[in-house]
Amino acid sequence: MDQDGNRYWLDSLKGKGVRPGLENIEELLHRLGDPQVGMRTVHVAGSDGKGSVCAMVESILLASDMLVGMFTSPSIMRVNESIRIGGEEIADDDLEDVLSLVRPHVEAMAAEGMECTSFEVLTATALLQFHRVDVDIAVVEVGMGGRLDSTNVVVPEVVAINNVCVEHREFLGDNLRDIAYEKAGIMKHGVPCVTVNEGVVLDVLESRSDEVGCTLNVVRRSEVEVVSSRPDQIDMVYGGVAYTVGLPGRHQAYNAALAIGTVSMLSDFHDRIEEHVHEGLENVVWPCRMQKMMGMPVVVDVTHTVNGAECLRRDIEEIYGSVLLVIGMLGDKDLDGVSRELAEIADRVYVTAPDSPRAAPSERMFEVMCQYHDDVTEFSDVAFAMDDAMDTRGDSTILVTGSFRMAEDVLRWLMDRSSRS
């Protein structure tokens, strides 16, 4: 087997698409010795901000001198980002090594008619590596939904469900109640669940908690106050206690409150973790979440939902005022809703398409955005859009957003621009 080709092999599995269900992942993990069994885990779901909550929980646990594994998706620049151990992404050699253990079982299953998707393989790879290095605890982010997500093979010590909105309708359902039901599918008997949701989503979560027999702890938004919001952090008060969070944007206060509530459910919170919560939140790092690029008038954000765009609009307006907006999205997202929100803060709009087979064509993005803004220009790719935005920006800040793939494209553009200067 070509050891150096394992990552390319993993990438080739993306063509298998998305197939919700647990049969394949359970079988694959069983063939690998069920590495997830007995592993302390925090399981995090939601539509917006679940990655930020994972990063905050990870940072708090790292500050508590724990060996932490973290599995998140999607990655931005390379797949290694999805598997973190001790606060660092998995090394190339380690990734190749663990994939060499997973690949024969995946290929054997395929020969038997059980073809695993890329995400199923990546989930198994992360859990196996966490087992191999014997992490103290793993923080695992749901990929999509929850009930039938590949990560729903873990039996966590605590579950967190962040803000839920309408998304992935083709897989999760057409309405908020159905989607909330899918997210609630990670709740398990005897495992405490923490959430920030309200209204119909909270109703669904309460019903599910009664059904499975677990406690539901609600972080009340009224108990969260943002004292100051700056380009690189926020100061907040939650439950009468002041915290500094090392990520920008008022919405991060609710993510932080959820992270605090989540770690407080862990068995060793009072003995080991509690005194390190402030340090963990202050030192948290999570790229491309309203991230101001060093030495550049560019802010990069991976927002791709209407709720996320609404939060982004408010935060950008407060910190930067109006901006030049460079935007491209995937075709299955709510182009209209996101465009409507972000057009309000844009002096000019540069629409394009990220480098992805799932991208919405730039001409479609152009047609949608023109309904909400009078100064829209279409570009065939992100590099052309960024070159023009930089040439015409004056003193303006450039906001790049719309998808993880847009973030990847602009980071590559920044690297190329740096190498040329």
Tell whether 98 and 211 lie within a shared domain. Answer: yes
Per-residue model confidence (pLDDT) at position 318? 96
230, 248, 321, 389, 391 from 324: Cα distances, Å: 19, 19, 10, 7, 12
> Each residue of 207-260: pLDDT tens digit?
999 999 999 999 999 999 999 999 999 999 999 999 999 999 999 999 999 999
- CA-to-CA distance for 312 and 251, rounded, in angstroms? 8
Peptide bond into 35 cis (omega under 30): no
Tell whether 130 and 206 lie within a shared domain. Answer: yes
Tell whether 136 and 231 lie within a shared domain. Answer: yes
Residue 412 sits in a domain whose CATH number is: 3.90.190.20
Tell whether 159 and 121 lie within a shared domain. Answer: yes
Tell whether 22 and 112 lie within a shared domain. Answer: yes
The residue behind tokens 């959820």 is 258
Tell whether 243 and 381 lie within a shared domain. Answer: no
Tell whether 336 and 262 lie within a shared domain. Answer: no
Q: Which of 229, 254, 282 is the last residue of a domain?
A: 282
Tell whether 125 and 248 lie within a shared domain. Answer: yes
Per the DSSP assignment, residues forming a β-bridge with 140 are 43, 71
The answer to whether the beta carbons of residues 197 and 174 sit under 8 Å apart is no
The residue behind tokens 């109703």 is 203
Residue 199 neighbours by CB distance under 10 Å: 10
Tell whether 41 and 165 lie within a shared domain. Answer: yes
Tell whether 247 and 355 lie within a shared domain. Answer: no
- CA-to-CA distance for 297 and 295, rounded, in angstroms? 7
Per-residue model confidence (pLDDT) at position 173? 61
Average pLDDT, the chain: 95
Q: Identify the segments of the chain with pLDDT beneath 70.
A: 1-4, 15-17, 167-173, 421
> Each residue of 274-328: pLDDT tens digit?
999 999 999 999 999 999 999 999 999 999 999 899 999 999 999 999 999 999 9
Residue 252 sits in a domain whose CATH number is: 3.40.1190.10
Longest dimension (CA), the chain: 61
Tell whether 227 and 320 lie within a shared domain. Answer: no
The answer to whether the beta carbons of residues 405 and 76 sit under 8 Å apart is no
User: 58 lies in which domain range?
Assistant: 3-282
Residue type (1 letter), 44: V
Phi, psi torsion values for 268, nearest 5 degrees: -105, 25
Per-residue model confidence (pLDDT) at position 94? 97
Phi, psi torsion values for 341, nearest 5 degrees: -70, -50
Write out the two tokens for 413: 């553009």
pTM (global) more than 0.85 = yes
Write out the two tokens for 98: 């663990």
- Total number of domains in the chain: 2
Q: Which of 231, 256, 282 is the last residue of a domain?
A: 282
Per-residue model confidence (pLDDT) at position 12? 86
Tell whether 316 and 411 lie within a shared domain. Answer: yes
- CA-to-CA distance for 274 and 272, rounded, in angstroms? 6
